[in-house]
């Protein structure tokens, strides 16, 4: 699969207006557009709250998202009944939690056949289970990462949220990329986390096993540094998305694992346009040269340059939801220009 220079987004945008967000996505990312998460619309579109609906024990009220079960065992029982039945509508992302998703669907429905033909991939996303569970405390004040029963339920619930999206967007007949956003993976290996390398491999092996029959590509996004080998070595992961602007020098240290990942069909999505470090004077030439310097290192370590280029996507380094609107549009514009530059020159 040749995706050289293909650009997509991470997920969140800072616009309160879904139509404005989708206008920009289709203008700057026409080949791999994504549905936008819009945290400035509503607290329910926050990274964790957005995927919490109908998951056991989770409630949203004036205090935000909380673990506040009325009857934990009963809620788990209902949840597993729905899960075993594979009741996709029960796990849908309703309008109040995802204005961007539903507006994006309506826009695609309204597009002409010629415009839809430009789309190579539809990119969807779910907050990854480790990040999701690290953001919710149990009744004792500890994150539910420490509760194996709740953690397993949330993994299954988030899997169903992904499967619902795959089913919802299949009407367009496009290859779907399903990303799991996992900034928490930067903590793996620390003495302060209950999560081990094997835990990550086990959880994502379970997730991909559930999703792959749909024919989608499964991606993992982490905007900090982590043990990249655990993702490269997990069966079923197709795309790894990292912050190439800040962490490229560390990422290329995993050349042996990366070589195996690429040879089995993997894709690297280089988060080359900085988010916090963005300035309007940055150019496609500068960003492309930075990627080239990383490619040169990997080629010296024995990876085929043609394979690296064939499996090279790009994105912003992270989500744009916390930025101002002008900066977010500037980043998308620079991403589009960099995509075109890579396709022509690298």
pTM for this entry: 0.98
- pLDDT bin (cut points 50, 70, 90) of residue 63 is confident
Position 145 in a domain: yes
- Residue 223 included in any domain: yes
Quickly list H helices, 170-266.
Answer: 197-211, 229-232, 244-251, 255-263
Q: Which residue has the higher pLDDT, 62 or 298?
A: 298
Residue 219 inside a domain? The answer is yes
Give the pair of three-digit tokens for residue 104.
Answer: 């994006």
Whether 12 shows a pLDDT value over 90: the answer reads: yes
> Over the Cα atoms of the chain, what is R_g?
19
Predicted confidence at residue 38, as pLDDT, reads: 97
Residue among 255, 55, 258 at smallest CA distance from 155: 55
DSSP string, 197-224: HHHHHHHHHHHHHHHGGGT-EEEEEESS
Confidence of residue 171 (pLDDT cuts 50, 70, 90): very high
Calculate the average pLDDT of the chain. Answer: 97
Q: How many domains does the chain have?
A: 1
Q: What is the separation of C-alpha 261 from the centre of its chain, rounded to a whole number of angstroms?
A: 19
In a domain, 1, yes or no: no
Which residues constitute the domain of residue 273?
6-345
Digit-coded pLDDT (tens) for 140-167? 999 999 999 999 999 999 999 999 999 9
Q: Is the pLDDT of residue 191 over 90?
A: no
DSSP category for residue 137 = B
CA 340 – CA 7 distance, rounded (Å): 9
Half-sphere exposure of 232 (CA within 13 A, CB side): 20
What are the angstrom distances between the C-alpha of 256 and each of 223, 229, 252, 298? 22, 9, 9, 9
Q: Is the C-alpha dihedral spanning 324, 127, 107, 53 positive or negative? A: negative
Q: Is the pLDDT of residue 190 over 90?
A: no
What integer pLDDT is reported at residue 62 of this predicted model? 82
pLDDT over threshold 90, residue 300: yes
Does 184 map to a domain? yes
Task: Write the CATH number for 262.
Answer: 3.20.20.210
φ, ψ for residue 60 (rounded to 5)?
-120, 125
Residue 306: Cβ-neighbour burial (10 angstroms; 0-12, 13-18, 19+): exposed
Overall average pLDDT of the 8-12 stretch: 97
Of 211, 103, 195, 102, the residue nearest 161 (C-alpha): 211
pLDDT of the residue at 189: 86
Whether 233 is covered by a domain: the verdict is yes
Residue 263: band (very low, low, confident or very high) from pLDDT cuts 50, 70, 90: very high
């Amino acid at each position: 699969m040749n995706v050289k220079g293909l650009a997509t987004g991470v997920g969140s945008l800072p616009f309160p207006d879904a139509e404005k967000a989708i206008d920009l996505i289709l203008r700057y990312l026409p080949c791999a557009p994504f549905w936008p998460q819009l945290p400035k619309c509503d607290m329910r579109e926050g990274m964790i709250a957005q995927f919490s609906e109908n998951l056991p024990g989770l409630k949203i009220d004036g205090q935000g998202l909380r673990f506040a079960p009325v009857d934990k065992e009963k809620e788990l029982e209902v949840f597993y009944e729905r899960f075993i039945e594979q009741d996709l509508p029960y796990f849908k992302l309703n309008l109040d939690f995802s204005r961007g998703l539903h507006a994006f669907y309506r826009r695609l429905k309204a597009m002409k056949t010629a415009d839809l033909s430009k789309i190579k991939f539809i990119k969807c996303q779910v907050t990854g289970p480790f990040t999701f569970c690290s953001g919710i405390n149990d009744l004792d004040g500890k994150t539910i990462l420490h509760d194996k029963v709740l953690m397993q339920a949330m993994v299954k619930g988030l899997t169903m949220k992904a499967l619902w999206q795959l089913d919802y967007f299949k009407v367009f007949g496009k290859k779907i990329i399903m990303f799991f956003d996992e900034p928490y993976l930067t903590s793996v290996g620390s003495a302060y986390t209950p999560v081990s390398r094997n835990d990550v491999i086990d959880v994502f092996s379970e997730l991909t096993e559930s999703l792959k029959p749909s024919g989608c590509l499964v991606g993992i996004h982490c905007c900090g540094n982590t043990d990249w080998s655990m993702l490269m070595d997990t069966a079923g992961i197709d795309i790894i998305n990292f912050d190439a602007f800040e962490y490229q020098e560390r990422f290329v240290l995993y050349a042996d694992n990366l070589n195996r990942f690429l040879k089995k069909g993997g894709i690297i999505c280089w988060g080359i346009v900085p988010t916090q470090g963005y300035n309007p004077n940055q150019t496609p030439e500068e960003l492309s040269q930075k990627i080239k310097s990383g490619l040169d290192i990997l080629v010296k370590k024995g990876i085929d340059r043609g394979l690296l280029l064939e499996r090279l996507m790009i994105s912003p380094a992270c989500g744009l939801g916390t930025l101002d609107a002008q900066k977010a549009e500037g980043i998308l514009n620079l991403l589009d220009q960099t995509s075109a530059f890579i396709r022509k020159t690298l």
